[in-house]
Structure 1
Amino acid sequence: MARSRILVALVALVVLLAGCGIPDSGAPIVYRAVPPGGGDRPDPPDARSNPQGPQKGGTPIQTVEGFLVAVGSSSERSYATARTYLSAPAAWKPAGSVRVFTLSSVTAVGRPDSGRVRISGQQIGLINADGSFTPSVQAIDRTVQLSRTGDVWLIDNPPGDILLRSDFFSQIYVPATLYFLDPTAQRLVPDIRYMDASGSSTDRWTAAVRLLLGGPSQSLGGAVRTAIPANTRLHGNVVQDNQHVVADVSSEALDSPSLWPAMVAQFIWTIKKVTGGEVRLMIDGREVSTIGASSGAKVDDIVDQFDPDALTANLSAYRVAGGVVQPALAGGRQVPAAFSVTTGVVAASMSADGGAVAKVGQAAGQQTLYLGPSAGPLTPVLTEPKILTPTWEFDHGGAITAINDRELVYAQLNRPVTPIRSPELAAMLGKRGRIVSLRLAPAGVRLAMVISDGSGGSHIVVGVVKHNAGESVSVGNLHVVSSQLIDAADVAWNNDNGLVTLAATSRGEVVQYQIAADGSNEQQSPSGLPTVPTRIAAVPKQSNQSTLAAVGGRLYQFYKPGWRPPAGHNGEGLVIPATSVFYPS
C-alpha cells in the first residue's frame, strides 16, 4: 500500500488570505527533504473535531499544542476557537502569508512554570491569496509567552501569521482545477487551487468561479492567458438546478467576441471539473447556447473542441530497441514513416497530435537531433556531444531538449535551433548539477525536469515555458517539488497536476513516487523493479496499465500494485527489448 506523506492539501483562501502575495521571480526553492525509502507515520489528530479550547489544569505546552490544532480546524477563518487560547483574543490580527509546516516539537523554555514555550518545525510552503500553493522551505522557530489566568494558561504573544500544520490539510481541504489558456488560446491549461472542504458544495463551486474570474495563479504568470473579459462578475452563487449546475455571469463576458469559444470553454470545463456535473452557463440570465447559436458557435462543439482529456486519448506507445523505433506492445500502431527507414536511434519522440517526430542518433562520439513531419523526411538540426530526448509542444510548434546536460534549447521544423533563457535553472545547476530528463505537460506550458546534483541525489523541478516577444523562449518560475531522490532518471506526467518517477532507496530498492506538480503532495510505493528505469512513458487520463518503463534494456508495464514484464496470451511475462519508450506527447 502506498505510504502517503501529505504535506499540504491546502486552503481555500479567497476569503482567508488577502494580500499574501508570493514573488514570481528569484532563485528556486528546495522546500523539503524526502527521506529515501519513506516511512510510516502515525495518524494525525482529527482537525475537524471542533477542539474545545484550553483546559483547566493544563500545562503551557498543552495550551500551545491545542492552539495549533485549533488554527488548523478554523475553516471559518474567524479562528474563534483558536482565540480562546489567547489572553487578548481581540488583539490578534494575523497577517501575511499562511505558512504550511511540519511540526517537530513543542517544548518548554527554562522552568516549566516560566510560561515560555518554543514551537519548532520546518516550513514546506506558502498558501497564496489566489488559492495556489508555492513551495518554500525555512525553519520554523517561534517562542511564545503564556500567563496563567485562574487555572488556565493563555498565550500572550501568538505568532503574527498563520501556522498551519501540514498533517491537517488532507482532512479539511480539497483541490479544484481551474482552466486558463495557452498562448495560442487553443488549449486549456489546468491551474490547481484549494477549497475549504467543510463548506457546502455551493460555497466551493462559487469560490472556484470567482477565482477563475480573478485570473491565473502566480506560478503560471506570463505563461497563460484568459479569454474572460475584465470586470466580468458572477451573479449570486453557482447552484444545482435539477440535472444541471448553473452559473450566471455578467454581460461583460460578451466584450471579446473573437475569444467567445475559448471563454465558454474556460467556464464550462472549470465548473464541470469542480462539480462533476453537467453545466448550464448563463449571461445575464440568457443561456449561452442561445447566444452561441446566433454567433454560429455551438456550445457542445466548443466543449468537445477544448476537452482537456482529449489531448492524450487513444495514443499508442513506441519503444527504441537495437537502434530502431518499434511499436511498444503487440497490437500497437505502426511506427510513422519517418521512423520506418531510420536506424541508429538512441532516443525518439513524437508530438501529441502525431504531426511531427524527433530522433537522436549517435555516431563518432557525437549525437545529432533530427526533426521532421511524421511522414518524413527527417532533417538534422543540431549536433552536440549529448542531446536529451526532446519533448514536444502539443501542436508540434516546437520541441524542447537539453544539450550537454546543462543548456535548454528550442527546436522547430524548418527554423534554426535557439537557446532557451533560464537564469533560475543556471543558478540551480551551479557547477556540478546536470539536467537528466525533461517533459512538457500534455497541454504544454509547464515543464518538469529531473536535475542531478552531481553526487547521486536528484530533484524533480517544475517551471513554466514562456514564449516572449521576438520569438524568444524562456523557462522560469522554477520550484523543486521533490528532492533528495536517489538516481532518478526520468519523470512523466500522469494527470493534470501529477508526475510519476522512480528512484532508488538507500537500501537499494526501487520506489515509485506520485508527485503533485505544485509540490503539495507526494505518495510513494514499492515498485518491485530490479533497477531504476532509464525512461518512463505515461498517458494522463488512461489506465495505470498504460504506464511503461524501459528497465535494464527490457520493457516493463505497470499492473497494480507493481511493475512486471508485459503479459503474453497465456499470462507469461514477455521479454521485450527496450532502451527507451515513449507515447506521443
Structure 2
Amino acid sequence: MRRRLVPALAVLATLLVGCSTVPTSSPNVVITQAPNRSDEPVGIEPVSPEKGATPEEVVRGFIDAAASSTRQHPVAREYLTPQAAKSWSDETGITIISPSYSAVTTEAGAVRVSADWVGNVDPRGIFSLSDQENYSREYTLEKVGKEWRIADPPDGLVMLLPDFSRLYDQLPAYFLDPTGQRLVPDPRYLIAGDSQPTALINRELDGASAALAAGVKNPLEGAQLRRAITVSSQIVTVDLTGLSPNPSPELSELCAQVVWTLQPFGARSVQVLIDGEPVSIDGIPSVQTVDTWASYSPEGAAVDAVGHYVFNGAVYTVDGKPVPGPAGAGAYGLTSAAVSANADGQLTTMAGTTAAAGGATLLMGAYGGDLAPVLAGDTLSVPTVAATRDETWVVRGGDEIVRVPAGGPAQAVATPTLGGLGRATVLQLSPDGVRAAVVIDGPEGPRLYVGTVNRSPDGGVSLPDLRQVAPSLSQVVDVAWRTSSSLLLLARDPGQARTVPYTVGVDGWNPQDVGTAGLPNEPTAVAAAPDRQPLVSAAGSIWEFSAGTWVTLIAGQEPLPGTEPFFPM
C-alpha cells in the first residue's frame, strides 16, 4: 500500500520507537475535559497567589495552576472568589492553548486572555482539533479583602501546551476491525499516574470515539470492571463482570483487546477474570501476553512486505530486482502499483494503473501473474490496499472513490462530504482498513483529511465524514500510514516554501517536521508501513530513512532510479 513522505528527522525517529509526545508547534486545538486524575502529584505543582498580585498576574497564576494532578485543583481555586471557588468545575474539559499567550486588562477592567488554540480533549480523553485558530476569553476580577480574585472562571481547565505535554500521556484504546483480524487504535490522553490502566480500560468499556465508532466492533461492550486493575509480581489482573465466561470468538476477542491495551504498563502478563474467575479458553494460558494474541496485532506486517517501486513502467523491489511476471518486465507500462498479502503474509494480488491519451486504467491480477483491466476513468489516483480485505481502492476523476474487490465488480464508495470540500488527489487506506487518509484540493489548496470506513450489512461502503487533520500544514502532496494511528505526509514548509515530510497523529495531534537530510531534491512521494523503514522518491530515485537521514537503498551504491514507492499490505 502506498503513501507519501515522512516527518522531521527527530520526529520520525521518535515514531519508529513508538513514543508519543506533545507538539512544540501544532495546529489549534481545544480540550473539553480532563480524564480521571491520580491522587498522586505528578511533576511540578503550582504555587498559591502572591500578596498584592495584579489582575493579570492572578489570571496567569490561575492558568498555571491548571497544571496540577491534585484532585479538585485546590491551588487553582485560591485564585477565585469564594463563591466562584465553590461553583467552579474542573471536570468539564481542558482547553489547550499556546504558551505564548497574552493577558491584558481591557478598558472595562476585565483581563482578556488571547492565544493560539491548540485543541480539545473530552471527558473520555479524546483529542480533537479546534475549529477556531484563536482562543480569546475575558476574566472578571473582584477584590476579596485587599486581593484580586477571579469571579467568573470558565468551567474546565485552560492549560498551556507544555504543561499538558508534561502531565498527559497518549495511550491507545483498542477496538476490533469488522473482519475480526486486527485491533484498531483509538488514541486517548490520560493523566500520568497509577490509575492509568483502570482509566484506559474504562474508556474502552465506554466505547470508541464518535469518529471511529461506525468502523469498529467493541468486544467489551456491556462489560464493567468489578474493581480497579491491579499490578502484582509483573502480572496485571483485570476483573470484569457482565460477560459470559463460556468460550466463544467474542471472549477471545475481548481478551486480545484487554491484553494489547495493557501492554504499555510494564507488565507483559495479564490475567483476565470474569466475576472473579479466570477465563478458560482452550489452548490459551490463564496468564496471557501479547504473544498469545499476536494474530490481532495492530501493527502486523506481511512477511514479504519489502518496499516496491515503479521504474520505466515496471515494478521493482528495493533490492533493485524486478518483481516476477509481466509487471516486472514492464509489459503494462504501469505508472503506480499496490500489492496485497494473504493472512500468512504471502503476496497475492497486484493492482496497477496505466495512463494514456484516452485516460487511465486500473489493472488487477495475481502477484507475478497476468493483470487485466478492471476500471477506467479520465484520471485514477495511485491504488491503495489494506491488510484485512483483498480489495483495491482508487479515486476516479477526483470526485468518485471506487473499491474493486479481487475477482469482483467495482463499487462506488459513498462520500457525502467530499463534494463540498474539493477534488481528491490522494487516497490511502490504513493498514487495518478502518480509516482512509485523503488529500483534497479545496479553496485553500491541498489539505489532509481522515475518514472512517463504514460498511453496512447490505454490502454498502461509505466514508460518511471526512475530518481535516493538521490544518496548519498546507499544499499537501502525498500521505502514508506509518502506523495504524500515525501518518506521514509531504507538505509545503511555510517558512522556506519547500516540500517537507511531516508526521502527525491520526487525530491531528503533534505535527512535526522530519527533515530532508540526504535527499537530492524535494520529495514527491512516500511509502510507509508498520515496522518498516519509510521510502521516498526524490529527483527520480528511491531513498530510505535510516538513522535520522535519507540514504540510498543499497549501502555504498548510487541511488536506484524510480518513483511511486509502496509497501505490500
What TM-score do the two structures reach when normalised by structure 2?
A: 0.86
2:500 is the counterpart of 1:511: yes
SS in 2 for 1:415: coil
Q: Which residue of 2 aligns with 1:303?
A: 293
**Structure 1 residue matching 2:477: 3-state secondary structure:** coil
- Hey, what's the Cα distance between the residues in 2 that align with 1:207 and 1:95? 15
- Kept in 1, the 8 Å contact 2:237–2:271? The answer is yes
- Corresponding position of 1:143: 138
Q: Which amino acid aligns with 2:262?
A: I
The offset of 1:440, in angstroms, is 1.3
- The within-5 A match list for 1:26-37 is none
1:15 and 2:36 matched = yes
> 1-side partners of 2:302 and 2:25: how far apart?
28
Output the amino acid matched with 1:403. R
Contact 1:186 1:262 survives alignment (8 Å): no
**Structure 2 residue aligned with 1:189:** 184
With a CA cutoff of 8 Å and minimum separation of 6, indicate the structure with the bigger relative contact order: 2
- How far apart are residue 336 of structure 1 and its match? 4.8
Partner Cα distance (2:283, 2:387) in 1: 31
Identical pairs, percent: 29
Where structure 1 has 5 or more consecutive residues not aligned to the other structure, the ranges are: 17-45
- Given the alignment, which residue of 399, 403, 427 partners 2:392? 399
- State the shift of 1:186 in Å: 2.1
Alpha-carbon distance in structure 2 between the residues aligned to 1:303 and 1:294: 12
- In the TM superposition, residue 302 of structure 1 has moved relative to its aligned partner by 5.1
SS at match of 2:227: strand
Separation in 2 of the partners of 1:450 and 1:142? 34
Question: CA offsets per residue over residues 75-115 of structure 1, 9 Å max, x none?
Answer: 334121111111121122367553333363211112xxx64
- Over residues 268-289 of structure 1, what are the superposed CA-to-partner deviations in whole Å (9 max), with x where a residue is unaligned? 111124445222222233333x
Pair 372,93 (structure 1): closer, same or farther in 2 beyond 3 Å: same
Match of 1:108 in 2: 105
2:68 aligns to what?
Answer: 74
SS of 1:61 mapped into structure 2: helix
AA in 2 matched with 1:76: T
Equivalent residues of 2:541, 2:560 under 8 A apart: yes
1:402-421 to 2 correspondences below 5 Å: 402-421=395-414
423 and 171 in structure 1: CA distance in 2 versus 1, 3 angstrom threshold: same
Identify the match of residue 238 of structure 1 among 229, 245, 248. 229
Q: Distance in 1 between matches of 2:502 and 2:355?
A: 32
**Gaps (5+ residues) in structure 2?**
1-8, 12-22
Task: Verify: 1:117 aligned to 2:140, yes or no.
Answer: no
More displaced stretch, 161-170 vs 49-58: 161-170
Question: How many Å separate the matches in 2 of 1:11 and 1:207?
Answer: 17
2:301, 2:529 within 8 Å by CA — same for their partners in 1?
no
Q: 1:249 aligns with which of 230, 240, 246?
A: 240
Task: Supply the AA of the counterpart residue of 1:99.
Answer: T
Counterparts of 1:552 and 1:168 in 2: how far apart (Å)?
42
Counterpart in 1 of 2:162?
167
**Matches of 1:257 and 1:525 in 2, distance apart?**
45
Question: Match for residue 535 of structure 2?
Answer: 548
Residue aligning to 1:521:
510
TM-superposed CA distance for 1:485, in Å, is 3.2
Opposite residue 442 of structure 1, the aligned amino acid is: P
Q: 1:96 to 1:319 in 2, by over 3 A?
A: same
| Distance verdict in 2 for CA 1:96–1:209, change over 3 Å | closer
1:580 aligned residue (560, 564, 568): 564
* Aligned-partner Cα distance in 2 for 1:250–1:68: 40
* CA deviation string 1:199-234 (max 9, x = no partner): 22xx1111111112222121202110112251x222
- Once the two structures are overlaid, the 10-residue window that deviates more, 244-253 or 265-274, is 244-253
Is the contact made by 1:328 and 1:581 (CA closer than 8 Å) also made in structure 2?
A: no
Preserved CA contact (<8 Å) 1:61 1:107 = yes
Instruction: Map residues 168-567 of structure 1 onto 2, 5 A cutoff.
Output: 168-197=163-192, 199-200=193-194, 203-230=195-222, 232-250=223-241, 252-254=243-245, 257-275=248-266, 277-288=268-279, 291-293=280-282, 303-312=293-302, 315-330=305-320, 335-337=323-325, 339-340=327-328, 342-353=331-342, 354-429=347-422, 434-453=423-442, 457-506=445-494, 507-528=496-517, 529-542=519-532, 546-567=533-554
Contact kept, 8 Å, 2:436 with 2:450, in 1: the verdict is yes
Give, as a single letter, the amino acid of the residue that structure 2 aligns with 1:163: V
Q: How far apart are the structure 2 equivalents of 1:151 and 1:310?
A: 63
Query: Contact between 2:34 and 2:91, CA under 8 Å: does it hold in 1?
Result: no
Is the 8 Å Cα contact of residues 537 and 582 (structure 1) preserved in structure 2?
Answer: yes
3-state secondary structure, aligned to 2:414: coil
Question: What CA distance in whole angstroms lies between the structure 2 residues aligned with 1:229 and 1:106?
Answer: 46
Query: Matches of 2:411 and 2:383 in 1, distance apart?
Result: 14
C-alpha distance in 2 between matches for 1:256 and 1:225: 18
Work out whether residues 447 and 471 of structure 2, in 8 Å CA contact, stay in contact via their aligned partners in 1: yes
Query: d(CA) in 2 for partners of 1:580 and 1:58?
Result: 61
Q: Does the aligned pair in 2 maintain the 1:12–1:195 contact within 8 Å?
A: no
Q: Distance in 1 between matches of 2:271 and 2:287?
A: 13
Q: Post-superposition shift, 1:116? A: 1.4
Q: Distance in 2 between matches of 1:253 and 1:173?
A: 35
Q: One-letter code of the match for 2:212?
A: L
What corresponds to 1:126 in structure 2? 120
Check whether the contact 1:60–1:115 (CA below 8 A) recurs between aligned residues. no
Cα distance in 2 between the residues matched to 1:551 and 1:243: 47
Contact 1:318 1:325 in 2 (8 A): yes
One-letter code of the match for 1:426?
G
Q: CA deviation at 1:308?
A: 2.5
The answer (yes or no) to whether the contact 2:235–2:271 under 8 Å persists in 1 is yes
Offset, 1:372: 2.2
The code of the aligned residue for 1:450 comes to: V
Distance 1:124 1:295 in 2: 45
Root-mean-square deviation over aligned CA pairs: 2.9
Cα offset, 1:10, TM superposition: 7.4
- Among 47, 50, 56, the alignment partner of 1:55 is 50
Deviation per CA, 1:266-313: give whole Å up to 9, x if none: 11111124445222222233333xx11289999678512212232355
Structure 1 position 536, deviation (Å) = 0.7
Q: Is the contact between residue 311 and residue 352 of structure 1 (CA under 8 Å) also seen in structure 2? A: no
Tell me how far apart the structure 2 counterparts of residues 256 and 364 of structure 1 sit (CA, whole Å). 59
Give the Cα separation in 1 of the matches to 2:149 and 2:499: 49
SS in 2 for 1:428: coil
The answer as to 2:78 corresponding to 1:91 is no
- Whether the 8 Å contact between 2:428 and 2:438 is mirrored in structure 1 is yes
- Which has the larger share of helix? 1
1:20 aligned residue: none
CA contact (8 A) 2:33 2:122 kept: no
Instruction: Write the letter of the residue equivalent to 1:390.
Output: P
SS in 1 for 2:123: coil
